[in-house]
């Protein structure tokens, strides 16, 4: 390309010619503070159960959580999102609602072992219902407003047990407004909401459903999660959640939806998170194990692509590994 006036060749390669200049002009950076680690907790003691479909990830009993958190803090990851696998399941997920539920107990343990850890909880019913749907089921339909009342109870109980932030993931209409109002009524005005605002009905959740034992026994989630081809609808969901009082908007999955992340980032003023979901994690793990790709390089490139698309925060099973690399000086 020639400069119109001076007839000088423009050479973008000058700014790529060495590590110092590349670092100086780098537009996007990952930081451990951007990363939120999902943790699975199950009943029992002394359990660190490998999740078969997610190599390197585990289900922990409550007594094993503090050590897992130590490892995260060591590399600078300061926030976790908890998922619970309950003792028993029933039609309304009642094990998720009381203060002795698995997540509530885990919250109290971590709140006392690590007072500064930022504790987020996933608020949904699918891990706790015997049918595996995210709400109360009647004739194959998830009943929205009845589900909201249960989610309100669950969220308040999480807040009572020490959660800093609750993250409703069930894609029920009005879930953010419902949670905000009961949290406020119960004195939890300081507890934040990160809404899974834009959550698609995705096949990328497959490994998670094995990990959390939360597959729908019948049917699928297409009547409440979003249809993957839709884009305008994402704006509608994001704007509704902002209006309902969400503190952070989440887009999920991440990698196949980076266009949506960018669009939402450009539309709302609050922080935007994206969820680098289980299937995205497992694909990288499997391809690396097969010798097809360089795991660390692809992991970092994938995570930075999410930031470049506009995500302020990334929920990722790679949080610990990526933060360790960053600590060692990776760009
Ligand atoms: C529960 C929930 C799911 C995920 C997060 N919260 C599963 C689902 O909606 O089926 C998926 C996370 C992942 O795949 O890593 N509603
Ligand atoms: Zn759910």
> Domains plus CATH for the chain?
29-327 (3.20.20.70)
Confirm whether 89 is a catalytic residue: no
How far does residue 316's CA lie from ligand 1's centre (Å)? Answer: 12
Between CA 15 and CA 17 the distance in angstroms is: 6
Residues enclosing ligand 1, CB less than 6 A?
122, 124, 126, 134, 169-170, 205, 208-209, 221, 277-278
Per-residue pLDDT of the chain (331 residues; tens, 9 = 90+): 555 666 789 999 999 999 999 999 999 999 999 999 999 999 999 999 999 999 999 999 999 999 999 999 999 999 999 999 999 999 999 999 999 999 999 999 999 999 999 999 999 999 999 999 999 999 999 999 999 999 999 999 999 999 999 999 999 999 999 999 999 999 999 999 999 999 999 999 999 998 998 999 999 999 999 999 999 999 999 999 999 999 999 999 999 999 999 999 999 999 999 999 999 999 999 999 999 999 999 999 999 999 999 999 999 999 999 999 999 998 8
Ligand 1 atom, smallest distance to 127 CA: 1
Query: Which ligand lies nearest to the CA atom of residue 216 in the structure?
Result: 1
User: HEC profile for the chain?
Assistant: CECCCCCCECCHHHHHCCHHHHHHCCCCCCCHHHEEEEEEEECCCCCEEECCCCCCCEEEEHHHHHHHHHHHHHCCCCEEEEEECCCCCECCCHHHCCCCCHHHHHHHHHHHHCCCCEEEEEECCCCCECCCCCCCEECCEECHHHHHHHHHHHHHHHHHCCCCEEEECCCCCCHHHHHHHHHHHCCCCCCEEEEEEEEECCHHHHHHHHHHCCCCCCCCCCCCCECCCCCHHHHHHHHHHHHHCCCEEEEECCHHHHHHHHHHHHHCCCCEEEEECHHHHHHHHHHHHCCCCCHHHHHHHHHHHHHHCCCCEEEECCHHHHHHHHHCCCC
| Backbone torsions φ then ψ of 211, nearest 5 degrees | -60, -45
Between CA 139 and CA 174 the distance in angstroms is: 22
Partnered with residue 273 across adjacent β-strands are 250, 313
Query: In this structure, how many other beta carbons lie within 10 angstroms of the beta carbon of residue 185?
Result: 11
| Neighbouring residues of the ion ligand 2, judged by CB less than 5 Å | 124, 126, 134, 170
Question: pTM above the 0.95 mark?
Answer: yes
User: Token digits for 191?
Assistant: 């507890």
Of the residues 48, 89, 105, 252, which is catalytic? 252
The residue whose C-alpha atom lies closest to atom 10 belonging to ligand 1 is: 205
Ligand 1 atom, smallest distance to 206 CA: 14
How far does residue 135's CA lie from ligand 2's centre (Å)? Answer: 7
* Residue-level pLDDT at 330: 87
Confirm whether 252 is a catalytic residue: yes
Between CA 311 and CA 251 the distance in angstroms is: 9
């Amino acid at each position: 390309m020639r400069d119109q006036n001076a007839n000088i060749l423009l050479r973008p390669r000058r700014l790529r010619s060495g590590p110092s200049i590349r670092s100086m002009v780098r537009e996007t950076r990952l930081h451990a503070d951007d990363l939120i680690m999902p943790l699975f907790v199950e009943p029992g003691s002394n359990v660190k159960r490998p999740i078969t479909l997610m190599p390197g990830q585990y289900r922990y009993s409550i007594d094993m959580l503090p050590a897992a958190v130590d490892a995260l803090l060591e590399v600078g990851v300061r926030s976790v999102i908890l998922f619970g696998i309950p003792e028993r399941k029933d039609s309304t997920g009642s094990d998720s609602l009381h203060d002795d539920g698995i997540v509530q107990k885990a919250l109290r343990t971590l709140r006392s072992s690590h007072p500064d850890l930022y504790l987020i909880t996933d608020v949904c019913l699918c891990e706790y219902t015997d049918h595996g749907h995210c709400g109360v089921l009647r004739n194959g339909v998830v009943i929205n407003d009845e589900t909201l009342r249960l989610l309100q109870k669950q969220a308040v109980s999480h807040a009572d047990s020490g959660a800093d932030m609750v993250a409703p993931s069930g894609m029920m209409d009005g879930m953010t407004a419902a949670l905000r109002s009961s949290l406020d009524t119960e004195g939890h005005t300081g507890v934040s909401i990160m809404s899974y605002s834009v959550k698609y009905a995705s096949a990328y959740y497959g490994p998670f459903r094995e990990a959390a034992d939360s597959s729908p026994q019948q049917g699928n989630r297409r009547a409440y999660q979003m249809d993957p081809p839709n884009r305008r609808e994402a704006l509608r969901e994001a704007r509704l959640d902002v209006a309902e009082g969400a503190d952070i908007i989440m887009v999920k999955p991440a990698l196949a939806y980076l266009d949506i992340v960018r669009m939402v980032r450009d539309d709302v003023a609050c922080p935007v998170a994206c969820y680098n979901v289980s299937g995205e994690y497992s694909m990288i793990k499997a391809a690396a194990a097969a010798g097809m790709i360089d795991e660390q390089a692809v992991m970092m490139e994938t995570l930075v692509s999410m930031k470049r698309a506009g995500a302020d925060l990334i929920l990722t099973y790679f949080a610990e590994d990526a933060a360790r690399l960053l600590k060692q000086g990776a760009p």
